[in-house]
Chain A
Amino acid sequence: MSATTVPTTTTAPTLWVRRPAGAKWAGWLRTVDHKEIGVLYMGMALLFFVFGGLTALTIRVQLAVPENHLVDPAIYDQIFTIHGVTMIFLVAIPVLVGFMNYMVPLMIGARDVAFPRLNALSFWLSFLGGLLVYFSFIAGGGPDAGWFAYPPLSGHTYSTGQGLDYYILGLAVNGAGTIVGAVNIAVTILLMRCPGMSISRLPLFVWMTLVTSFLILAAYPALSAALVMLFVDRHLGAHFFDANAGGDPLIWQHAFWFFGHPEVYIVILPAFGMISEVIPVFSGKPIFGYRFVAASSVAIGFLSMSVWAHHMFAVGMSDAENLFFSGASMLIAVPTGVKVLNWTATMIGGRLRFTTSMLWATGFIATFVMGGLTGVSLAIVPIDWFVTDSYYVVAHMHYVLFGGVVFGVFAGLYYWFPKMTGRLLSERLGKWHFWLTFVGFHMTFLPQHWLGIEGMARRMWTYPASTGWGTLNMLSSIGAGVMTIGTLIFVWNLLVSLRSGQLAGDDPWDAFTLEWTTSSPPVPENYLTVPVATSRRPLWDRKHPDMKDPS
């Protein structure tokens, strides 16, 4: 790679670089650049986040007071189904894949991903899949059997509309995009590292991305297979899940959760990776126990493939099965705990800078630990029997998925936004965003633990006043309102900072890793000369040649 015609922009940078004037919109359609595809993924996530958020608010409005008849019960079914499908498949995965696309080649000193055109295909398949799922609303009604679409409810007998068919088609297409994307990212990490970037020097976000890619390859095909069987059942009159004809609905549950549980780690591991980048930089120290953080992710990856049936304790499995999946699920808390230990140990004795990014990262640790603990409690079979399908589960899952994934993504976004755009997000607005979301989040989901224990079932459309659940539900709904204000501030911050945020320069955070050595936003093909990784902290080495990182 040579330094040919690339202008080095030091003042007002253009967004995501280059491209002749006039080709702006068509350019987004035909781009094969990993950075632009990364931005497309993030844009897709933001678009669907609006819908996912609006459905969440509708749920909270409906449940705010007892005996509320604001939303029709049949519509309510569609709303909670599309909320789950959207947030998992069309928000969490795309935003993380967006970050992987944008950051991984930069962090390993590569020009692009291994297969740029395939990368574009991945994005457009993922996006098309999302549109297909949403097209169901135009075609006569969305899917309404919950995001995990258990048969027989999702079979043709009980789901007579076309909503489930768009769910099947949409998720199959979306999943194909995700699988192809994972192949691409894994090959990129394995083959395109710059000189000196050995596996043991990979930034931890890249490590987590690698593990996540393998998990996607192992988990997503099970979902595709389950979707094929459901499709054949619905359209060719087959009997896979039809107990009357010798079929077994539990096959769906096994196949779905064989995908569904690794999926949880597919979305949380990259978030782990993000805060493993953020915390060392804002603690002014290298990560504590790099090898443990990396190795524990691999352990989580393996373990996550053998815990899926803890979603099925209530279906009546044998004691041996219950015991195995309960034990494996508790075991996974060990490598996760190792990570929490590493992050806190990194912060201890560091020169802490509580930037917005760092606030999100510490908020992540606090919230994720709480979600992790309720997770361990759910792995205990009798407790699971007691609270299964209740708001306790809803609370747990939002603590790890919102308090985990979303907080982690915001930590990553505030951290890398200046690299992507050349401008800093406003720290003042960012802190409002963080505190409103953090307080609103706990206000929304903490009360749901008690609601669940008191017997409020997840997905219930409304509840009688005599249950006494009104107060906690109202509190929960007010919390959702507070989060909404936080989110609106975030969108405002995004818009304002894109236009007139403070110029960032190449390395606004005094960071460690390669991506901060190139310009912000990066030049086409990322680096003017092939970078060399001299240690796990190559940029530190450049800034402190007298005390190089020994790794």
Chain B
Amino acid sequence: MTAAQARPAGRLSHAPLLGMALFIASESIFFMTIVVAFIALRPAGLATAKQELEFTKTLIFSLFLFASSGTMTIAERRRDRDGWVWLVVTGILGLVFLTGQGLEYVRLLSTGISPAAGMFGTTFFTLTGLHGLHVLVGLAAITGLTIASLARRGRVTAVGWETVAWYWHFVDGVWVVVFSVVYIGTLIG
């Protein structure tokens, strides 16, 4: 047995990270499929999109989500001290984003834009809704990590923190794509 073939000690402790990476890859295909459908059907809904979407307001709410990736990184670095505080901040930023999305939904629905109303409603609510659900799952993971790190301070491994962080960054990254396709795309298209 050569050194290269020997199993590095503790390699298995990284299993959750590798698992999360593979899961994220898989999730990317999921979103890619919906995004491609959105782009293919975009012309049919573009006029409504131009009329109804509020670019600036959504951009501001998006900044909260983008910022939350930063606070997540800070939380990870300070996991042995007050990392949980930064987790709470991250969660709040995520909640603000979701609130913004909720307000937008209420506004659109009140003006008669729904998934059934036309192609814009169909594609918009499906794509942003699926992303919103993923944010919700991310928030659940952050809540779980916060509780675990408080209950057993220092016992949650670095890999555990990183695994949750990766998922959160992924959710954030998906929004970069969705925001570009839906909002910037409408603005320039």
What residues make up the interface of A, taking CB atoms closer than 8 Å to B?
114-115, 179-180, 182-184, 186-187, 190-198, 217-222, 224-226, 228-229, 232-233, 236-240, 245-248, 251, 255, 258, 532, 534
**In the complex, A258 Cα to B32 Cα: how many Å?**
12
Whether, in the assembled complex, B126 has its beta carbon less than 8 Å from a beta carbon of chain A, the answer is yes
Contact B22 A221 (CB under 8 A): no
A191-B11, A192-B12 known; A251-B30 Cβ under 8 A: no
Whether, in the assembled complex, B150 has its beta carbon less than 8 Å from a beta carbon of chain A, the answer is no
For the complex, would chain A's binding face be called helix, strand, loop or mixed by DSSP majority?
helix
B40 to A: closest C-beta gap in Å: 6
A191-B12, A225-B34, A258-B33 known; A184-B115 Cβ under 8 A: no
A229-B126, A239-B122 known; A195-B115 Cβ under 8 A: no
Contact B18 A190 (CB under 8 A): yes
Residues of B within 8 A of A225 (CB): 29-31, 33-34, 37
Contact B14 A191 (CB under 8 A): yes
A183-B19, A191-B12, A229-B37 known; A247-B119 Cβ under 8 A: yes
- Shortest beta-carbon contacts, A-B, top 6: A246-B44, A237-B116, A225-B33, A221-B30, A238-B122, A221-B29
A187-B18, A187-B19, A194-B7 known; A232-B122 Cβ under 8 A: yes
**In the complex, A186 Cα to B4 Cα: how many Å?**
20
Residues of A within 8 A of B123 (CB): 240
List which B23-70 residues lie within 8 A (CB) of chain A.
Answer: 23, 25-31, 33-34, 37, 40-41, 43-45
Contact A236 B116 (CB under 8 A): yes
Contact B34 A217 (CB under 8 A): no
Residues of B within 8 A of A220 (CB): 26
Contact with A along B120-131 (1 / 0, CB 8 A): 011101100010
Contact with A along B6-19 (1 / 0, CB 8 A): 11000110110011
Contact B5 A218 (CB under 8 A): no
Instruction: Please tell me which one of the listed residues B1, B23, B26, B34 contacts residue A228 in the complex, with CB atoms under 8 A apart.
Output: B34
Residues of B within 8 A of A233 (CB): 122
Contact B40 A248 (CB under 8 A): yes
**In the complex, A115 Cα to B15 Cα: how many Å?**
8
Instruction: Please tell me which one of the listed residues A184, A196, A240 contacts residue B122 in the complex, with CB atoms under 8 A apart.
Output: A240
Which of A184, A186, A240 has its CB near the most chain B CB atoms (within 10 A)? A240
**In the complex, A226 Cα to B37 Cα: how many Å?**
9
Residues of A within 8 A of B11 (CB): 191
14 contacting pairs across A/B (C-beta < 8 A):
A114-B15, A179-B26, A184-B19, A187-B15, A190-B18, A191-B14, A195-B6, A218-B29, A220-B26, A222-B29, A225-B29, A229-B34, A236-B115, A532-B1
Contact A232 B26 (CB under 8 A): no
Contact B33 A247 (CB under 8 A): no
**In the complex, A293 Cα to B55 Cα: how many Å?**
53
Contact A246 B41 (CB under 8 A): yes
Whether, in the assembled complex, B118 has its beta carbon less than 8 Å from a beta carbon of chain A, the answer is yes
User: With A245-B119, A246-B118, A251-B40 given, can you name 15 additional A-B contacts, CB distance below 8 Å?
Assistant: A114-B15, A187-B18, A187-B19, A195-B7, A218-B29, A219-B29, A228-B130, A232-B122, A238-B126, A239-B119, A239-B122, A240-B37, A240-B122, A246-B43, A246-B119
Instruction: Please tell me which one of the listed residues A182, A222, A240, A532 contacts residue B41 in the complex, with CB atoms under 8 A apart.
Output: A240
A114-B12, A232-B126 known; A187-B1 Cβ under 8 A: no
A183-B19, A240-B37, A255-B37 known; A247-B1 Cβ under 8 A: no
Residues of A within 8 A of B22 (CB): 182-183, 186-187, 217
Instruction: Please tell me which one of the listed residues B4, B18, B33, B116 contacts residue A191 in the complex, with CB atoms under 8 A apart.
Output: B18
The residue in chain A whose Cβ has the minimal distance to the Cβ of B5 is: A198
A248 to B: closest C-beta gap in Å: 6
Residues of B within 8 A of A239 (CB): 116, 118-119, 122
**In the complex, A409 Cα to B122 Cα: how many Å?**
43
A449 to B: closest C-beta gap in Å: 34
Contact B15 A228 (CB under 8 A): no
Instruction: Please tell me which one of the listed residues A196, A217, A246 contacts residue B25 in the complex, with CB atoms under 8 A apart.
Output: A217
B24 to A: closest C-beta gap in Å: 10
The residue in chain B whose Cβ has the minimal distance to the Cβ of A193 is: B7
Residues of B within 8 A of A236 (CB): 114-116, 125
Contact A247 B30 (CB under 8 A): no
Which of A114, A183, A187, A232 has its CB near the most chain B CB atoms (within 10 A)? A187
Residues of B within 8 A of A532 (CB): 1
Which of B11, B115, B118, B130 has its CB near the most chain A CB atoms (within 10 A)? B115
Residues of B within 8 A of A226 (CB): 33
Residues of B within 8 A of A196 (CB): 1, 5
**In the complex, A180 Cα to B23 Cα: how many Å?**
8
**In the complex, A52 Cα to B37 Cα: how many Å?**
33
Residues of A within 8 A of B14 (CB): 191
A189 to B: closest C-beta gap in Å: 11
Contact B34 A248 (CB under 8 A): no
**In the complex, A184 Cα to B30 Cα: how many Å?**
19
**In the complex, A237 Cα to B139 Cα: how many Å?**
29
Residues of B within 8 A of A217 (CB): 22, 25-26, 29
Residues of A within 8 A of B118 (CB): 239, 245-246
Residues of B within 8 A of A192 (CB): 12
**In the complex, A183 Cα to B122 Cα: how many Å?**
32
Residues of B within 8 A of A198 (CB): 4-5
Contact A195 B1 (CB under 8 A): yes
**In the complex, A193 Cα to B15 Cα: how many Å?**
13
Residues of B within 8 A of A246 (CB): 41, 43-45, 118-119
**In the complex, A255 Cα to B35 Cα: how many Å?**
12
**In the complex, A180 Cα to B22 Cα: how many Å?**
10
Contact B44 A221 (CB under 8 A): no
Contact A251 B41 (CB under 8 A): yes
**In the complex, A228 Cα to B123 Cα: how many Å?**
12
Residues of A within 8 A of B33 (CB): 221-222, 225-226, 255, 258
The residue in chain A whose Cβ has the minimal distance to the Cβ of B27 is: A221
Residues of A within 8 A of B28 (CB): 221
Which of B5, B41, B121, B130 has its CB near the most chain A CB atoms (within 10 A)? B5
